[in-house]
Amino acid sequence: MEKVQKVNEMLVVSASPHIRSKHKTSSAMRLVIIALLPALIFATYLFGLRALLIALISIMAAVGSEALLQRMLGRKITITDGSAILTGLLLAFNLPPGVPWWLPAVGSAFAIIFAKQLFGGLGYNFINPALAGRAFLMASWPSLMTKEWLAPVGGTLSGIDGISAATPLSLLKNPANYGNPEIIIRQLNDFDTIRNIFFGKIGGCIGETSAFFLLIGGLALLFLRIIDYRIVVGYLGSFALLAWLLPTQGSVVFHLFAGGLVLGAFFMATDWVTSPVTKKGRWIFGIGCGVITIIIRIWGGYPEGVSYSILLMNVFTPVIDRLTKERIFGEVKKKGVKK
Protein backbone atom coordinates (compact mmCIF):
# COMPACT_ATOMS: atom_id res chain seq x y z
CA MET A 1 0.00 0.00 0.00
CA GLU A 2 2.85 2.36 0.84
CA LYS A 3 4.37 1.78 -2.58
CA VAL A 4 1.12 2.70 -4.28
CA GLN A 5 0.92 5.92 -2.33
CA LYS A 6 4.40 6.85 -3.45
CA VAL A 7 3.68 6.27 -7.13
CA ASN A 8 0.53 8.38 -6.99
CA GLU A 9 2.40 11.29 -5.46
CA MET A 10 4.86 11.32 -8.35
CA LEU A 11 2.32 11.20 -11.16
CA VAL A 12 2.02 14.32 -13.27
CA VAL A 13 -1.31 14.99 -14.93
CA SER A 14 -1.85 17.17 -18.00
CA ALA A 15 -4.04 17.34 -21.08
CA SER A 16 -3.19 15.42 -24.24
CA PRO A 17 -1.16 15.30 -26.45
CA HIS A 18 1.70 13.99 -24.35
CA ILE A 19 4.35 14.26 -27.05
CA ARG A 20 5.43 17.33 -29.00
CA SER A 21 7.49 17.91 -32.08
CA LYS A 22 10.98 19.32 -31.50
CA HIS A 23 10.01 22.50 -33.30
CA LYS A 24 10.35 25.55 -31.00
CA THR A 25 9.96 29.29 -31.51
CA SER A 26 13.57 29.92 -30.54
CA SER A 27 14.90 27.23 -32.87
CA ALA A 28 12.95 28.72 -35.79
CA MET A 29 14.37 32.19 -35.01
CA ARG A 30 17.84 30.69 -34.90
CA LEU A 31 17.36 29.08 -38.31
CA VAL A 32 16.19 32.35 -39.87
CA ILE A 33 19.23 34.13 -38.44
CA ILE A 34 21.50 31.41 -39.84
CA ALA A 35 19.78 31.72 -43.22
CA LEU A 36 20.65 35.43 -43.26
CA LEU A 37 24.34 34.85 -42.53
CA PRO A 38 25.50 34.21 -46.14
CA ALA A 39 24.11 37.60 -47.11
CA LEU A 40 25.72 39.26 -44.08
CA ILE A 41 29.10 37.74 -44.84
CA PHE A 42 28.81 38.86 -48.43
CA ALA A 43 27.84 42.39 -47.30
CA THR A 44 30.94 42.51 -45.12
CA TYR A 45 33.05 41.58 -48.12
CA LEU A 46 31.22 44.07 -50.34
CA PHE A 47 31.10 47.13 -48.11
CA GLY A 48 33.84 46.32 -45.62
CA LEU A 49 33.79 45.78 -41.86
CA ARG A 50 31.56 48.81 -41.53
CA ALA A 51 28.55 46.76 -42.70
CA LEU A 52 29.19 44.10 -40.07
CA LEU A 53 29.61 46.70 -37.35
CA ILE A 54 26.34 48.38 -38.25
CA ALA A 55 24.61 45.00 -38.02
CA LEU A 56 26.18 44.37 -34.61
CA ILE A 57 25.19 47.80 -33.30
CA SER A 58 21.67 47.27 -34.55
CA ILE A 59 21.42 43.83 -32.91
CA MET A 60 22.86 45.04 -29.61
CA ALA A 61 20.47 47.99 -29.54
CA ALA A 62 17.51 45.70 -30.27
CA VAL A 63 18.42 43.14 -27.61
CA GLY A 64 19.40 45.85 -25.12
CA SER A 65 16.21 47.84 -25.51
CA GLU A 66 14.10 44.70 -25.26
CA ALA A 67 15.79 43.66 -22.02
CA LEU A 68 15.63 47.17 -20.61
CA LEU A 69 11.99 47.74 -21.41
CA GLN A 70 10.90 44.32 -20.17
CA ARG A 71 12.73 45.00 -16.95
CA MET A 72 11.10 48.41 -16.57
CA LEU A 73 7.67 46.96 -17.24
CA GLY A 74 8.31 44.10 -14.83
CA ARG A 75 7.86 41.48 -17.54
CA LYS A 76 9.84 38.34 -18.02
CA ILE A 77 12.98 39.01 -20.04
CA THR A 78 12.73 37.01 -23.26
CA ILE A 79 15.83 38.03 -25.21
CA THR A 80 16.90 34.40 -25.48
CA ASP A 81 14.06 33.60 -27.91
CA GLY A 82 16.14 35.19 -30.68
CA SER A 83 13.40 37.44 -32.00
CA ALA A 84 15.13 40.70 -30.98
CA ILE A 85 18.38 39.55 -32.59
CA LEU A 86 16.47 38.88 -35.79
CA THR A 87 14.75 42.27 -35.71
CA GLY A 88 18.10 44.02 -35.24
CA LEU A 89 19.70 42.06 -38.03
CA LEU A 90 16.85 42.67 -40.46
CA LEU A 91 16.82 46.40 -39.71
CA ALA A 92 20.55 46.59 -40.45
CA PHE A 93 19.93 44.77 -43.73
CA ASN A 94 17.58 47.60 -44.66
CA LEU A 95 20.05 50.45 -44.01
CA PRO A 96 22.50 52.01 -46.46
CA PRO A 97 26.03 51.04 -45.44
CA GLY A 98 27.21 54.62 -45.06
CA VAL A 99 24.79 55.70 -42.33
CA PRO A 100 26.19 57.21 -39.10
CA TRP A 101 26.77 54.77 -36.22
CA TRP A 102 23.92 56.06 -34.08
CA LEU A 103 21.26 55.55 -36.73
CA PRO A 104 20.91 51.76 -36.45
CA ALA A 105 20.77 52.04 -32.65
CA VAL A 106 17.94 54.56 -32.78
CA GLY A 107 16.08 52.54 -35.40
CA SER A 108 16.37 49.25 -33.48
CA ALA A 109 15.30 50.85 -30.23
CA PHE A 110 12.24 52.31 -31.96
CA ALA A 111 11.44 48.99 -33.61
CA ILE A 112 11.60 47.01 -30.37
CA ILE A 113 10.00 49.53 -28.05
CA PHE A 114 7.26 51.07 -30.16
CA ALA A 115 6.50 48.42 -32.75
CA LYS A 116 6.92 45.33 -30.56
CA GLN A 117 7.03 45.61 -26.78
CA LEU A 118 4.39 48.32 -26.34
CA PHE A 119 1.95 46.11 -28.20
CA GLY A 120 2.62 43.21 -25.85
CA GLY A 121 5.87 41.73 -27.12
CA LEU A 122 6.50 38.80 -29.40
CA GLY A 123 3.33 37.56 -31.06
CA TYR A 124 1.26 40.67 -30.41
CA ASN A 125 2.91 43.22 -32.73
CA PHE A 126 0.79 43.89 -35.80
CA ILE A 127 3.53 45.23 -38.03
CA ASN A 128 6.98 43.89 -38.73
CA PRO A 129 9.21 45.65 -36.15
CA ALA A 130 12.26 45.86 -38.43
CA LEU A 131 10.24 47.48 -41.19
CA ALA A 132 8.56 49.82 -38.73
CA GLY A 133 12.05 50.85 -37.59
CA ARG A 134 13.09 51.47 -41.16
CA ALA A 135 9.96 53.50 -41.89
CA PHE A 136 10.61 55.57 -38.80
CA LEU A 137 14.21 56.31 -39.87
CA MET A 138 13.05 57.04 -43.40
CA ALA A 139 10.57 59.63 -42.16
CA SER A 140 12.93 61.19 -39.66
CA TRP A 141 16.22 61.27 -41.53
CA PRO A 142 15.32 60.89 -45.20
CA SER A 143 18.63 62.21 -46.51
CA LEU A 144 20.69 59.78 -44.40
CA MET A 145 18.48 56.91 -45.51
CA THR A 146 18.66 57.63 -49.24
CA LYS A 147 22.06 59.13 -49.84
CA GLU A 148 24.61 57.28 -47.73
CA TRP A 149 25.35 54.61 -50.29
CA LEU A 150 28.83 53.12 -50.44
CA ALA A 151 30.45 51.87 -53.60
CA PRO A 152 30.75 48.08 -53.46
CA VAL A 153 34.12 46.35 -53.82
CA GLY A 154 35.00 45.85 -57.49
CA GLY A 155 31.67 47.13 -58.75
CA THR A 156 29.59 50.23 -59.09
CA LEU A 157 26.43 51.36 -57.38
CA SER A 158 24.35 50.75 -60.45
CA GLY A 159 26.07 47.64 -61.71
CA ILE A 160 26.90 49.54 -64.89
CA ASP A 161 30.49 50.57 -65.51
CA GLY A 162 30.86 54.30 -65.56
CA ILE A 163 27.69 55.10 -63.64
CA SER A 164 28.35 54.90 -59.95
CA ALA A 165 26.20 57.63 -58.53
CA ALA A 166 22.96 55.73 -58.05
CA THR A 167 21.46 52.33 -57.23
CA PRO A 168 19.89 50.44 -60.14
CA LEU A 169 16.36 51.25 -59.06
CA SER A 170 16.97 54.96 -58.70
CA LEU A 171 18.58 54.95 -62.13
CA LEU A 172 15.48 53.32 -63.53
CA LYS A 173 13.25 55.84 -61.77
CA ASN A 174 15.06 58.96 -62.97
CA PRO A 175 17.43 58.01 -65.80
CA ALA A 176 17.48 61.56 -67.15
CA ASN A 177 19.29 62.75 -64.01
CA TYR A 178 22.32 60.64 -64.89
CA GLY A 179 22.78 61.03 -68.64
CA ASN A 180 21.13 59.83 -71.79
CA PRO A 181 18.00 57.96 -70.59
CA GLU A 182 17.85 55.61 -73.56
CA ILE A 183 21.42 54.39 -73.16
CA ILE A 184 21.04 53.98 -69.43
CA ILE A 185 17.84 51.93 -69.76
CA ARG A 186 19.50 49.72 -72.38
CA GLN A 187 22.53 49.23 -70.14
CA LEU A 188 20.35 48.42 -67.14
CA ASN A 189 18.70 45.53 -68.98
CA ASP A 190 22.03 44.32 -70.29
CA PHE A 191 23.03 40.76 -69.36
CA ASP A 192 26.23 41.95 -67.62
CA THR A 193 24.32 44.41 -65.48
CA ILE A 194 21.68 41.85 -64.55
CA ARG A 195 24.44 39.43 -63.58
CA ASN A 196 26.03 42.06 -61.35
CA ILE A 197 22.65 42.74 -59.81
CA PHE A 198 21.91 39.04 -59.22
CA PHE A 199 25.22 38.36 -57.50
CA GLY A 200 25.10 41.68 -55.70
CA LYS A 201 28.00 43.64 -57.16
CA ILE A 202 25.93 46.77 -56.80
CA GLY A 203 25.13 49.41 -54.26
CA GLY A 204 22.13 49.29 -51.99
CA CYS A 205 21.15 48.53 -48.44
CA ILE A 206 23.51 46.30 -46.47
CA GLY A 207 21.65 43.06 -46.83
CA GLU A 208 19.63 43.43 -49.99
CA THR A 209 22.19 43.53 -52.78
CA SER A 210 22.90 39.88 -53.42
CA ALA A 211 19.84 37.98 -54.54
CA PHE A 212 22.08 34.94 -54.87
CA PHE A 213 23.18 34.77 -51.23
CA LEU A 214 19.70 35.63 -49.97
CA LEU A 215 18.23 32.85 -52.08
CA ILE A 216 20.57 30.28 -50.53
CA GLY A 217 19.15 31.01 -47.10
CA GLY A 218 15.61 31.69 -48.28
CA LEU A 219 15.26 28.45 -50.19
CA ALA A 220 16.65 26.52 -47.23
CA LEU A 221 13.95 28.05 -45.01
CA LEU A 222 11.30 27.16 -47.56
CA PHE A 223 12.60 23.60 -47.68
CA LEU A 224 12.54 23.37 -43.88
CA ARG A 225 9.02 24.81 -43.92
CA ILE A 226 9.99 27.60 -41.57
CA ILE A 227 8.54 30.07 -44.05
CA ASP A 228 5.40 29.58 -46.09
CA TYR A 229 5.65 29.04 -49.84
CA ARG A 230 2.29 30.69 -50.46
CA ILE A 231 3.56 34.10 -49.39
CA VAL A 232 6.82 33.79 -51.31
CA VAL A 233 5.26 32.45 -54.50
CA GLY A 234 2.29 34.83 -54.27
CA TYR A 235 4.59 37.81 -53.79
CA LEU A 236 7.21 37.00 -56.44
CA GLY A 237 4.65 35.56 -58.87
CA SER A 238 2.23 38.47 -58.85
CA PHE A 239 5.13 40.90 -58.92
CA ALA A 240 6.78 39.22 -61.91
CA LEU A 241 3.50 39.03 -63.80
CA LEU A 242 2.76 42.71 -63.27
CA ALA A 243 6.33 43.74 -64.08
CA TRP A 244 5.81 42.02 -67.39
CA LEU A 245 2.33 43.44 -68.05
CA LEU A 246 2.67 47.00 -66.81
CA PRO A 247 4.55 49.82 -68.54
CA THR A 248 8.04 49.80 -67.05
CA GLN A 249 11.37 50.02 -68.74
CA GLY A 250 13.09 47.45 -66.59
CA SER A 251 12.85 43.80 -67.59
CA VAL A 252 11.13 41.29 -65.31
CA VAL A 253 14.48 39.80 -64.26
CA PHE A 254 15.86 43.24 -63.51
CA HIS A 255 12.87 44.02 -61.30
CA LEU A 256 13.06 40.70 -59.47
CA PHE A 257 16.68 41.02 -58.41
CA ALA A 258 17.27 44.77 -58.13
CA GLY A 259 16.42 46.30 -54.79
CA GLY A 260 15.09 44.50 -51.75
CA LEU A 261 12.51 42.19 -53.28
CA VAL A 262 14.23 38.87 -52.50
CA LEU A 263 15.03 40.00 -48.95
CA GLY A 264 11.45 41.18 -48.48
CA ALA A 265 9.69 38.20 -50.05
CA PHE A 266 11.68 35.51 -48.23
CA PHE A 267 12.54 37.11 -44.92
CA MET A 268 10.12 39.91 -44.11
CA ALA A 269 6.75 39.24 -45.71
CA THR A 270 6.96 35.72 -44.27
CA ASP A 271 7.27 36.96 -40.69
CA TRP A 272 4.95 34.63 -38.74
CA VAL A 273 3.48 37.19 -36.41
CA THR A 274 2.44 39.76 -38.98
CA SER A 275 1.19 37.57 -41.83
CA PRO A 276 -2.18 35.79 -42.03
CA VAL A 277 -2.70 32.32 -40.55
CA THR A 278 -5.20 31.03 -43.10
CA LYS A 279 -3.94 29.32 -46.25
CA LYS A 280 -6.02 31.48 -48.57
CA GLY A 281 -5.04 34.53 -46.56
CA ARG A 282 -1.35 33.83 -47.09
CA TRP A 283 -1.89 33.81 -50.86
CA ILE A 284 -3.80 37.09 -50.68
CA PHE A 285 -1.12 38.61 -48.48
CA GLY A 286 1.69 37.62 -50.85
CA ILE A 287 -0.16 38.80 -53.93
CA GLY A 288 -1.07 42.08 -52.23
CA CYS A 289 2.60 42.71 -51.43
CA GLY A 290 3.52 42.06 -55.08
CA VAL A 291 0.87 44.42 -56.40
CA ILE A 292 1.74 47.28 -54.05
CA THR A 293 5.47 46.89 -54.64
CA ILE A 294 5.18 47.21 -58.40
CA ILE A 295 2.73 50.11 -58.13
CA ILE A 296 5.18 52.04 -55.96
CA ARG A 297 8.10 51.23 -58.22
CA ILE A 298 6.28 52.39 -61.36
CA TRP A 299 4.05 55.21 -60.18
CA GLY A 300 5.15 55.98 -56.63
CA GLY A 301 7.51 58.62 -55.34
CA TYR A 302 10.16 56.12 -54.20
CA PRO A 303 12.30 53.98 -56.46
CA GLU A 304 11.63 50.96 -54.18
CA GLY A 305 8.36 49.73 -52.71
CA VAL A 306 9.12 46.48 -50.86
CA SER A 307 9.09 47.69 -47.28
CA TYR A 308 5.99 49.85 -47.59
CA SER A 309 4.08 47.13 -49.40
CA ILE A 310 4.78 44.67 -46.60
CA LEU A 311 3.91 47.21 -43.91
CA LEU A 312 0.62 47.97 -45.63
CA MET A 313 -0.27 44.32 -45.94
CA ASN A 314 0.69 43.78 -42.27
CA VAL A 315 -2.06 46.24 -41.41
CA PHE A 316 -4.55 44.27 -43.49
CA THR A 317 -3.61 40.92 -41.93
CA PRO A 318 -6.35 40.79 -39.26
CA VAL A 319 -9.01 41.62 -41.86
CA ILE A 320 -7.64 39.03 -44.28
CA ASP A 321 -7.74 36.39 -41.55
CA ARG A 322 -11.33 37.25 -40.71
CA LEU A 323 -12.49 37.14 -44.31
CA THR A 324 -10.71 33.94 -45.29
CA LYS A 325 -11.64 31.50 -42.52
CA GLU A 326 -10.67 27.96 -43.30
CA ARG A 327 -13.40 25.65 -44.55
CA ILE A 328 -14.37 23.40 -41.66
CA PHE A 329 -14.46 19.66 -42.43
CA GLY A 330 -17.97 18.61 -43.37
CA GLU A 331 -19.18 22.17 -43.80
CA VAL A 332 -22.08 22.43 -46.18
CA LYS A 333 -22.22 25.68 -48.13
CA LYS A 334 -25.14 27.69 -46.88
CA LYS A 335 -26.72 30.35 -48.98
CA GLY A 336 -27.46 33.71 -47.42
CA VAL A 337 -27.16 33.95 -43.66
CA LYS A 338 -23.66 33.94 -42.23
CA LYS A 339 -22.84 33.57 -38.60
Partner 1 sequence: MFSKFSGGVHPAEQKNTENCAIEIMPVPKRVYIPFSQHTGKPAKPSVKKGDEVRIGTKIGEADGFISASVHASISGKVIDIAEHPHPVIGSSLCCIIESNDSEDWSSDLEGDQDIGKMSSAQLVEIVKEAGIVGLGGAAFPTHVKLSPPKDKKIDSLIINGCECEPMLTADHRLMLEYTAAIIEGAQVFQQILNAQNLIFAIEDNKKDAIALFQKEGVRVARLKTKYPQGAEKQLIKAIVRREVPRGGLPMDVGCVVHNVGTCYAALLAFKFRKPLIDRVVTIAGDGVKENKNVLVRIGTPVSDIVDYCGGYVERPMRIIFGGPMMGIAQYADSVPVIKGTSGILVWQDARTIEEGPCVRCAGCVDACPMGLMPTEICSNVKNRNFDAAEAYGVLDCIECGCCAYVCPAAIPLVHYFKYGKNEIWRKSKK
Applying CB under 8 A, the residues found at the interface with partner 1 are 4, 7-8, 10-21, 23-25, 27-28, 81, 121-124, 228, 272-279, 282, 321, 325-332, 339
Complex with partner 1: residue 8 or 143, whichever CB lies closer: 8
Complex with partner 1: residue 81 or 304, whichever CB lies closer: 81
CB of 133 to partner 1, least distance (A): 19
Complex with partner 1: residue 10 or 49, whichever CB lies closer: 10
Q: How many CB atoms lie within 10 A of CB 143?
A: 7
CB of 191 to partner 1, least distance (A): 40
Is 161:112 a contact under the CB 8 Å cutoff? no
Non-local (6+) Cβ contacts of 148 within 8 A are 96, 97, 98, 99, 100
Q: How far is CA 248 from CA 187, 240, 284, 291, in A?
A: 15, 12, 24, 14
Complex with partner 1: residue 71 or 225, whichever CB lies closer: 225
First to last CA, the chain: 56
Spatial distance between the Cα atoms of 154 and 156, rounded to a whole number of angstroms: 7
Complex with partner 1: residue 245 or 315, whichever CB lies closer: 315
Is 272:87 a contact under the CB 8 Å cutoff? no
CB of 169 to partner 1, least distance (A): 31
CB of 118 to partner 1, least distance (A): 15
CA angle 275, 256, 82 (to 5 degrees): 40
CA angle 100, 101, 105 (to 5 degrees): 120
Complex with partner 1: residue 27 or 180, whichever CB lies closer: 27
Is 56:251 a contact under the CB 8 Å cutoff? no
Spatial distance between the Cα atoms of 112 and 123, rounded to a whole number of angstroms: 13
Which has the closest alpha carbon to 264: 299, 303, 305? 305
CB of 27 to partner 1, least distance (A): 8
Complex with partner 1: residue 24 or 186, whichever CB lies closer: 24
Is 299:254 a contact under the CB 8 Å cutoff? no
CB of 301 to partner 1, least distance (A): 32
Complex with partner 1: residue 50 or 280, whichever CB lies closer: 280
CB of 7 to partner 1, least distance (A): 5
CB of 318 to partner 1, least distance (A): 10
